[in-house]
Amino acid sequence: MTIVGLVVTGTPLAGRAVAVADALSAQSHGVAMLASAAARAWVPDVPTWLNPPSGRWVPSAVVVCPATFNTINAVASGLNHSDLLGVINEALVRSTPMLFVSTTAERMTRHPAWQRSVDTLTEAGVNWLDPQTGDHRPGIVPDGSASRVCEKFDPAWVTDWLER
């Protein structure tokens, strides 16, 4: 059985994290969810069955859903100042299969770090998922459309990636 580290960061799509965990569990994957403080606005109570194992653990795959502009740039820069970044960075250096469900606001893609970070992570083996279409590319969310993105997102897109 694979153990998927489900890393949840702070955008409205975080509200679908338990649905992603349920979809993974339905496919016989173990799931350990790590939610950032910002994600707790949308996932106030992580079900106990999703708590990560105590002590040091190494997931078989990592899904960052949602992957925010901040998280993408932090990982690409090698920042490691939280448990969440620690799990992602450790998985990256171990070449653990990794999927980022990017929810970067369209206006933020004009920031000079954006494309450089996407390129760095892609070269490092990160896979991408657009939460609006299921396409395997970084998702760019039109400003003001977060609720529509949440409605369009299908957790099966994550399980499909993992089964490939």
The pLDDT value given to residue 49: 72
Mean pLDDT of all residues belonging to the chain: 92
Q: How far is residue 121's CA from residue 53's CA, in Å, rounded to a whole number?
A: 27
pLDDT class for 31, splitting at 50, 70, 90? very high
- Residue 1's pLDDT is 61
Whether this prediction's pTM lies above 0.85 is answered by: yes
Which residues constitute the domain of residue 133?
Answer: 3-163
Q: How far is CA 40 from CA 4, 17, 70, 127, in A?
A: 20, 11, 16, 25
Q: Which of 102, 25, 89 is nearest to 62 (CA)?
A: 89
pLDDT-derived band of residue 47, with 50, 70 and 90 as boundaries?
confident
CA distances from 46 to 14, 16, 95, 114, 144 (A): 11, 12, 27, 30, 27
Name the domain count of the chain. 1
CATH of the domain at 18: 3.40.50.1950
